[in-house]
């Protein structure tokens, strides 16, 4: 089932993009605005509709976050379909971007193990540092080497075979690239801070288990800087999607 949230606000749309959303409150955020402005025509797909079939998607593909674990395919059968869908795309060289849970799905599709993080959960605002490969990568063009961003994950992954690590925290790998056509980003560069109140309501029990307060989630170090980098990320993603999509479809 396609959700009726199709965006078409740019006069020269040239890249179709399907966005798999696992829960309604975790959407494209700032990234959606930047993609539309950058010539990417996206529409959301409800992940649960992939329980019975995972069709080939000819355009770009973005997979968003969610509270489930990528390895819980018994509890969420559609996750196995997503992993298979991404695996086929990796083989064909079609562009795919995974964010948080989406990154873990990309890692699993590439043959890596996804598991609970041994060093605990990362929830709230914390710094990410780009590697040398990340500094040179087009998706992070215009970013400082070290920047504050939002995290909400308990799972992590082994780096997929042949992937290049682009960003880290002191606990976990935070971004990787496979070839030039696939990325996984563990943190949330897209998040709009004011929407985090809905996350807090939905995931309140998890915060209580981690002994975190809502203030720990809502306290943005520099909201203007975060918004600026979020849109920079979106511009970079749109540019990358246009280049890879046209190369793959040409």
Q: What is the set of active-site residues?
A: 100, 188, 190
Residue that has been written with the tokens 């199709």 in this structure = 6
Residue 17's H or E segment, with its range, is strand 15-21
Write the CA distances from 240 to 19, 143, 158, integer angstroms.
16, 16, 25
Q: What is residue 243's DSSP assignment?
A: H
Query: b/e per residue, 145-168, with b = 16+ CB within 10 A?
Result: eebebbbbbebbbeebeebbbbbb
**136, 105 Cβ separation under 8 angstroms:** no
């Amino acid at each position: 089932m396609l959700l009726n949230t199709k965006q078409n606000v740019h006069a020269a749309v040239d890249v179709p993009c399907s966005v798999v959303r696992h829960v309604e409150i975790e959407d494209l955020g700032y990234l959606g605005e930047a993609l539309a402005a950058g010539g990417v025509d996206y529409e959301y797909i409800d992940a649960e509709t992939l329980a019975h079939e995972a069709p080939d998607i000819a355009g770009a593909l973005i997979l968003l976050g969610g509270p489930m674990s990528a390895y819980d395919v018994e509890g969420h059968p559609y996750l196995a379909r997503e992993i298979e869908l991404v695996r086929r795309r990796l083989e064909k060289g079609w562009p795919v971007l995974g964010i948080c849970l989406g990154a873990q799905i990309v890692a699993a599709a590439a043959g890596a193990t996804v598991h609970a993080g041994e060093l605990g959960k990362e929830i709230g605002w914390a710094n990410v540092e780009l590697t040398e490969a990340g500094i040179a990568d087009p998706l992070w063009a215009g970013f400082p080497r070290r920047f504050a961003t939002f995290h909400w994950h308990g799972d992590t992954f082994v780096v997929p075979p042949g992937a290049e690590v682009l960003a880290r925290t002191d606990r976990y790998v935070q971004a990787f690239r496979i070839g030039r056509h696939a990325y996984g980003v563990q943190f949330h560069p897209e998040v709009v801070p004011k929407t985090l109140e809905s996350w807090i309501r939905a995931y309140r029990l998890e915060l209580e288990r981690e002994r975190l307060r809502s203030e720990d989630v809502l306290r943005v170090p520099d909201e203007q800087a975060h918004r600026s980098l979020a849109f920079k990320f979106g511009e970079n993603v749109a540019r990358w999607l246009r280049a890879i999509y046209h190369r793959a479809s040409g």
